[in-house]
C-alpha cells in the first residue's frame, strides 16, 4: 500500500497549478475598465449588475466601489435610478 507521503507532493503541485491559473484569470478581470461599469445592455440588467458583485469579491473592492459600479450599469442601460434594495442586495 502506498504511503501518504507519496501522494503529498503530486497533490501539492496540482493545487499550486490550479491556484496560479485561477489567479491569472482574476487579474485580467480586475484590470478591465468594463468590470467597474458593465454596460452590455443586450443582456439582462441583473446579469450586468451581478458582475459588479463578482468584481467586488474577486478584486477586493469596497461596497462603495460596488455601488458605484451598479449605478453606472443602471445609467448606461437607461434603467433609471438604482433602487436602494438592489444596492444592498448586490453590494452590502
What pLDDT is recorded for position 48?
86
Total domains in the chain come to 1
Residue 9 has pLDDT above 60, yes or no: no
DSSP per-residue letters across 63-88: HHHHHHHHHHHHHHTT--SPPHHHHH
Residue 16 has pLDDT above 60, yes or no: no
Domain that holds residue 59: 42-92
d(CA 80, CA 76): 9
Choice between 18 and 65, residue whose per-residue pLDDT is larger: 65
What pLDDT is recorded for position 6?
61
Residue 66 in domain: yes
d(CA 56, CA 67): 10
What pLDDT is recorded for position 54?
93
- State pLDDT tens for residues 27-78: 678 988 889 999 888 878 888 899 999 999 999 999 999 999 999 999 999 9
Residue 13 in domain: no
Residue 8 in domain: no
d(CA 59, CA 10): 29
What pLDDT is recorded for position 31?
87
Residue 15 in domain: no
Residue 35 in domain: no
Cell of 72: 453606472
Residue 60 in domain: yes
Residue 55 in domain: yes
Residue 2 in domain: no
Across the chain, which distance is largest between two alpha carbons, in Å?
66
Report yes or no: 70 and 39 within 8 Å, Cβ to Cβ: no
What pLDDT is recorded for position 20?
44
Q: Is 62 helix (H, G, I), strand (E, B) or coil?
A: coil
Amino acid at each position: 500500500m502506498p504511503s501518504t507521503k507519496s501522494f503529498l507532493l503530486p497533490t501539492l503541485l496540482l493545487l499550486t497549478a490550479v491556484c496560479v491559473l485561477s489567479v491569472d484569470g482574476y487579474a485580467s478581470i480586475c484590470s478591465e475598465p468594463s468590470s467597474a461599469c458593465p454596460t452590455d445592455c443586450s443582456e439582462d440588467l441583473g446579469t450586468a449588475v451581478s458582475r459588479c458583485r463578482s468584481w467586488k469579491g474577486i478584486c477586493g473592492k469596497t461596497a462603495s466601489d460596488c455601488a458605484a459600479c451598479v449605478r453606472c450599469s443602471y445609467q448606461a442601460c437607461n434603467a433609471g435610478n438604482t433602487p436602494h434594495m438592489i444596492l444592498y442586495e448586490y453590494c452590502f
